Amino acid sequence: MNNFIYNTPTKVFFGKNQEDKLGEILKSYNIKKVLLHYGKESIKKSGLYDKVINQLKAFKIDFVELGGVTPNPKLSLALKGVEIAKKEKVDLILAVGGGSVIDSAKLISVGAKVDFNPWLFSIKEKTPNDHIPVGTILTISAAGSDMSNSCVITNDTTKEKRGFVSEENRCLFAILNPELTYTVSKYQTACGIVDIMMHTLERYFSSGDDTPLTDNIALGLLKAVYDAGKILITDPYNYNARATIMWANSLSHNGLTGVGRNYIMSVHQLEHELSGMYDEISHGAGLAVLWPAWAKIAYKAEIKRFSRYAYEVIGITKTNDSIADILKAIEETQNYFISLGMPKSLRELNVKESSLEELAHNTMFKGKRVLEDIIKVDYEMAYKILKLAY
């Protein structure tokens, strides 16, 4: 087991009606003025926006607003947020929405403390060491940004999508009410389930010594999500299934399922290039197509781990041919994603075959890196995976 630092300071308020505690929570942290950050109209339609405003007013907490966050959140909007946060001297950014809104809030949070463009954090030319606290009311179970140290932003000028990790990116608090996700569309629910599974799959299929506790937790989380997803296909208002997915969203990306291991999340890196180039592609949909392709190549490097996944998560009946069992599990995983409503190929996502080379090239940061985990993903391998996923 590798040495590790485990840091999950985010205080989680989980369950029904927890958003009604917002004012009380902000008061407990002595917050006087917030920047309310959100996406498009959905929180207004659902009534959540009004609830938030009423809480802020009732507890006499001053606020300014910045809406308009899009999927694959854009640098340009975050820079506007930085300007507002500085000018208005807010002492918390309240992200009401999904992972895109939270990630945008995170960039504002670190950007407001420096005099340069925080994109320099994204491209790792600078390292943040201070931030304005971020609190969130989560409305989509997917990215796990509410408890993660990760922030992914797309530069709308260069079309680059870049993530950076920092302990400055941890939210102060997260309000997670599974009922707020009842109205998430079937497609977006599916994208979320894939993203959640992938955060743990990419930690589990990694190199390192034996880590039985981390592995058991990882497999247990995957199984719970897999089962809950099946329920949600026919019963989107099932509270316990929504709650399972929402809590897994947090635990899958806060570090828990990978401690003690070496992981670099190659499939995520490939997907970031994909949805960076094709803005209309949802992160989860991209992952759903790319992971099975990666797995069909990578399984040979980790037969033992893939076997446990096959038997303990997917529930493949054990035969004498463990390779066949693993391949069946990978196929079954892809079929599961398809049953949730996910595409089965890059072609189905309207990706041009002619862009595969550029995607592979971009994933390698144009020759500046190689991704080495249980398999080595260099340009040729990236291209091979993309081609197989096409």
Using CB under 8 A, list all residues that contact a copy of itself. Answer: 1-9, 11-16, 18, 209-214, 216-217, 219-221, 223-225, 227-228, 239-240, 243-244, 247-248, 251, 256, 259-260
Question: Containing H/E element for 34?
Answer: strand 33-38
Contact 74, 211 (CB under 8 A): no
Please tell me the distance from the alpha carbon of residue 76 to that of residue 157, in angstroms, as a whole number. 9
Please tell me the distance from the alpha carbon of residue 374 to that of residue 263, in angstroms, as a whole number. 9
Q: Minimum distance between the CB of residue 204 and a copy of itself, rounded to whole angstroms?
A: 12
Q: Minimum distance between the CB of residue 206 and a copy of itself, rounded to whole angstroms?
A: 16
Residue 229 or 343: which CB sits closer to a copy of itself?
A: 229
Nearest by Cα to 77 from 62, 95, 50: 95
Nearest by Cα to 331 from 291, 370, 281: 291
Six token digits for residue 189: 């629910």
Residue 42 or 238: which CB sits closer to a copy of itself?
A: 238
CA angle 24, 128, 144 (to 5 degrees): 55
C-alpha radius of gyration, the chain, whole number: 20
Q: Minimum distance between the CB of residue 308 and a copy of itself, rounded to whole angstroms?
A: 11
CA torsion sign, 373 to 374 to 380 to 386?
Answer: negative
Residue 58 or 213: which CB sits closer to a copy of itself?
A: 213
Q: How many residues does the chain have?
A: 390
Residue 12 or 385: which CB sits closer to a copy of itself?
A: 12
Categorise residue 58: left if φ over 0, alpha if ψ from -120 to 50, beta otherwise: alpha
Q: Minimum distance between the CB of residue 146 and a copy of itself, rounded to whole angstroms?
A: 11
CA angle 369, 7, 116 (to 5 degrees): 55
Q: Minimum distance between the CB of residue 208 and a copy of itself, rounded to whole angstroms?
A: 11
Residue 103 or 215: which CB sits closer to a copy of itself?
A: 215
Q: Minimum distance between the CB of residue 231 and a copy of itself, rounded to whole angstroms?
A: 10
Residue 1 or 53: which CB sits closer to a copy of itself?
A: 1
Question: Containing H/E element for 97?
Answer: strand 92-97
Please tell me the distance from the alpha carbon of residue 351 to that of residue 348, in angstroms, as a whole number. 7
Please tell me the distance from the alpha carbon of residue 207 to that of residue 96, in angstroms, as a whole number. 36
Residue 293 or 316: which CB sits closer to a copy of itself?
A: 316
Q: Minimum distance between the CB of residue 147 and a copy of itself, rounded to whole angstroms?
A: 9
Q: Minimum distance between the CB of residue 294 and a copy of itself, rounded to whole angstroms?
A: 25
CA torsion sign, 258 to 262 to 265 to 267?
Answer: negative
Q: What are the DSSP E strand ranges found in 238-374?
A: 371-372
Beta bridge partners of 66: 37
Q: Minimum distance between the CB of residue 310 and a copy of itself, rounded to whole angstroms?
A: 17
Q: Minimum distance between the CB of residue 6 and a copy of itself, rounded to whole angstroms?
A: 4
Residue 68 or 260: which CB sits closer to a copy of itself?
A: 260
Residue 82 or 172: which CB sits closer to a copy of itself?
A: 172
Question: Containing H/E element for 267?
Answer: helix 266-277
Residue 279 or 312: which CB sits closer to a copy of itself?
A: 312
